[in-house]
Structure 1
Amino acid sequence: MKLRLFYALWPRPEVRDALAAAARPLLDACRGRRVPKRNYHLTLAFLGSVAEDRLPELHAAAARVTFEPCTLRIDRHGYFKGARAAWLGCRQPSPAAAALAENLRAVLAPLGFQPDPRPFRPHLTVLRKCPGCDWEGEIQPVAWPIDGFVLARSETLPTGPVYHVVHRHP
């Protein structure tokens, strides 16, 4: 069986609630399909369709990733025109979070995975199929403590995608 997988930073419930509150003015100002707060995450590496029997290999590789706990400050918003998505992100991304993304990519490459080679720019998608978003207000900053990451599975349903945590690291 194939699973659609990605590694991500996964917010704790209280952070998820704070992110939803911070996103509210942006969501109210712009049109599109809202991402349910249960799906909030920051992608570190998208793997795509992966055979389920490769899970032990992925867990072993991710266990070799070293990183320093840090805090992301989610304090800005933006819009990806091509993807038609509104997002929340960081004015000053944490060097420790960027190093985590790079270290993860480095252990995945020998396994044949080629995650996006662009530098890690943390963004949390809050609105999809958005025809445009020119809201210029400020969001309430959110402190997001990072002490681990997850391997997650994406399940596509008629109502939209649902994400499930497959494994937590460490």
Structure 2
Amino acid sequence: MTRWIFLGFLLIVGVLLASMARLQEKNDDIPYFLRYDSLAANSNPAIQLEVVSTEIPTEEQLEKLKKDYAAIWAHLNELYQHPNPKPSKERLTERFYLHLAKNYKEGPSGTIKRKNLSHSLQVQTWSRDGLSCNILDQEAQFSLEFPDGTTENFTSKIAISLLLQGDNWRLDGIRFID
């Protein structure tokens, strides 16, 4: 008798597991680290790096920072022309993205294209765990391309706060100093 009760219990559990497996939705989203980021691939600014922080990052960490910094600016340039923050979600912290998304108003895309040419970075602070840093971009050079084909170059000084989340650096704060 106990054996039949046990077998009945196993049969019920098996039926429940099979029905739950069939009802489960399939998620076809590719993880971010496997996606091809065409914006980042097409951005290749010259980046000079100087560390003035008391915590000194390794060369590997600095190379990762350079690569991700160029990708962040590629996404910021895309945001400059097309104000939709969704494609840049993976390059921004959740707080920064929610702020942009809350203030996003759908409208026409801009006609002025911005491209970053070079950056002169100074790592001001680097956390001991290597998960956050504050950067001063002493000389960020940009080029604006207008619809009539003319271009204008300008230089700016920018303070940036980055957080390492997942596999890449994400923008947490930015301020144009001049």
**TM-score between both structures, scaled by the size of structure 2:** 0.27
Q: Which has the higher contact order (CA 8 A, sep 6+)?
A: 1
Pair member with larger Rg: 2
> Which structure has the highest strand share of the two?
1
**TM-score between both structures, scaled by the size of structure 1:** 0.28
